[in-house]
A = this chain, B = another copy of it.
Amino acid sequence: MDIQQLISDGFAIKKYPKDAIIYEPGMSPRYVYFIKSGEVRMVTVSKDGKEFIQGVFKTGQYFGEPALIVNRKYLAYTIASKDSEIIPVAKNQFFNLVENTPGFSINLIQTLCNRLFYKSMMLEELANEKAEHRLLTIINYLLNDIETGESLKVSRQELADMTGLRVETVIREVKILSDKGLIHTEKGKIIRHF
C-alpha cells in the first residue's frame, strides 16, 4: 500500500510526538494505522510493569489490523518511539482498500506471514532456549536489517524487552557472546561484521 496514494486520496495525517500512546490494551479497534514517518513500538505490559516488545513498525509500514480483523480488543500498547506522522484509516475504508487496491490483499497476507514467522521464532526461543541463545538469535535477526560495518541502534534495555530478560542479564550475556567471538562489539556497540 502506497502512503502517498493515501494522502492524495485525502486521508488525514495525525502527528504523534515521541512517547505518545496511539492505542492501549482494552480499546476497541477502529482504525488501521499507516506510518508516513517516524517509528512505533508495540508493547505488552505485565502487572508489575515489565514491558515486552511485540514489534517495531517503521515508515511505510502499517499496524493494528489483527485486532480489528478478528474483532477483539487490543492486547498491546502502541507508542511512538520517535515523533511520527500517522494516517489512521477507518475500518470500513480499510476493508475497501483491501478489496479494491490491486495487490494489497497479497501484500497484507505476506506482511502477516512475516510477523507470524518472527513470533514463531521468538516463541521457540522464549519457551526452550537459554539467555545466551535467545540473545544471539535476536541480535542476528536485527543485524540482518543493517549494513556491514554499521552498529545496532538498540539499547541493552530494548534487547531485554524483546527477549523477556533483564537488562543486567543482557549486559552480562552480550559480553559473553562478544568474548566467545559470536558477535562483534566496539565500545559497547554491537557491530555487523560481515
- Contact surface of A with B, Cβ cutoff 8 Å: 44, 46, 50, 52, 54, 65-67, 69-70, 72, 75-76, 98, 105-106, 108-110, 112-117, 119-124, 126-129, 163-164
Contacts and interface: CB of A to CB of B under 8 A. Distances in A.
A72 B113 CA distance: 11
23 contacts: A44-B120, A44-B123, A44-B124, A44-B127, A44-B128, A46-B124, A50-B128, A52-B128, A65-B113, A69-B109, A70-B114, A98-B106, A98-B109, A105-B105, A112-B112, A112-B116, A116-B116, A116-B119, A119-B119, A119-B120, A122-B123, A126-B164, A128-B164
A72 B116 contact: no
Contacts of A112: 109, 112-113, 116
Secondary structure at chain A's binding surface: helix, strand, loop or mixed?
helix
Work out how many copies of this chain go into the complex.
2
Contact of A75 (B75, B120, B127): B120
A98 B67 CA distance: 22
Contacts of A66: 113, 116-117, 120
Contact of A110 (B70, B106, B163): B70
A72 B116 CA distance: 12
Contacts of A46: 124, 128-129
B52 A123 contact: yes
Enumerate the 7 nearest inter-chain pairs by beta-carbon distance, A residue then B residue, closest first. Answer: A127-B164, A46-B128, A126-B126, A112-B112, A119-B119, A44-B124, A52-B127
B123 A72 contact: no
Contacts of A105: 105-106, 109
Nearest to A99: B106
